[in-house]
Chains A and B, each alone.
Chain A
Amino acid sequence: MGSSAVGRWWRPFRSVAEATVFYVDLLPHAAHEARALECLSAEERVRSGRYLHAGSRRRFILCRAALRAVLCHRLACNGQQITFGASSYGKPFARVDETPSPVGFNVSHAGSHGLIAVAPRGRIGVDIEERVPRDDLNDLTDAVLGPNEKREFVLLHGNRRTHFFYRMWTLKEALIKALGHGFSQDPAEFEVPLAVRRGARAGTLRFPNRPRSLWRVNDLGTEKFAAAVAVETNPGHSLMSAE
């Protein structure tokens, strides 16, 4: 999938164990968007037309084309060979010539920033958020944070409180996306490891209600955004089904 004429809008960002996370530049760019649209399937072009807002449409087009390019490179195939399926909970997986691929991937975007996480096998989740101040943080913490996390949240003020919330959100969202069950996995029913809550960039955990898998979670946050990636450490689970 060539993009040399207009340049690439994605680049490697971080490596976490066997996984690679790519950064996707989602700023408005007519040439990138035109090239990206050419790389999408007919179905994806129809989907892009359903978005109500130009920004949402641009983020989808640029991220999906970048994902296709990353997967083509990983799977040594061309874009026409790749199709996407989804598990019963909507978590996408890739097929090459209709054969499901073991490669795990996940995509997230916020504002002008996108991330694509790819691993050779197993489940993986990524999340990125801009740290936009919100006046409903207290409501959200009730829905998202566990009891210890809430106690730590209320002790913070101002920017530190906002940073803590977005850090917890992206870590939990990455884990939930990796698990692939959507919000049927209640984010308030598990807690980020204590060391990570206190500032460590990486840790491991098991979901209390799904203890079979061990998950590694990494904080990928920068000054510009909060972000995290979660990777299954003992992959053996089918990407196409729920646990």
Chain B
Amino acid sequence: MASTEDRLRTLVAENLEVDGQPVNVPADLNVSLTDAGVPSMDFVAFAKVIVREFDVPLTPDECADFSTLKDLAAYIDSQAA
């Protein structure tokens, strides 16, 4: 089964774009959604995707608070543990 980081990378590619282009995050996920240029409306939508895909509690505010996508993946894993 794919790791949380791999699944998160796929979800970003499938659900987020900036200026009509996919968000190409670095392989180590060491980037924030803000630095990726993701607007606030997409934070709200993406938080709902995360909740649905991983069955973890996550508000848009919490989603925006993670410094990097790697931190978000760690949070998801901690909720599943």
Residues of A within 8 A of B (CB): 50-53, 55-56, 59, 110-111, 129, 134, 136, 139-140, 142-144, 169, 173, 182-184
Contacts and interface: CB of A to CB of B under 8 A. Distances in A.
A169 B41 contact: yes
A181 to B, nearest CB: 8
Interface residues of B, number: 22
Interface stretch (B1-9, B29-37, B70-78): B29-37
B61 to A, nearest CB: 4
Contacts of A56: 18-19, 35-37
Interface string B24-51: 1100000100011101110111011000
Contacts, number: 61
A184 B60 CA distance: 8
Given A53-B21, A55-B19, A183-B61, A136 B36 contact: no
Contact of A184 (B31, B40, B47, B61): B61
Interface centre among A110, A142, A182 (most CB of B within 10 A): A182
Contact of B64 (A50, A129, A134, A183): A183
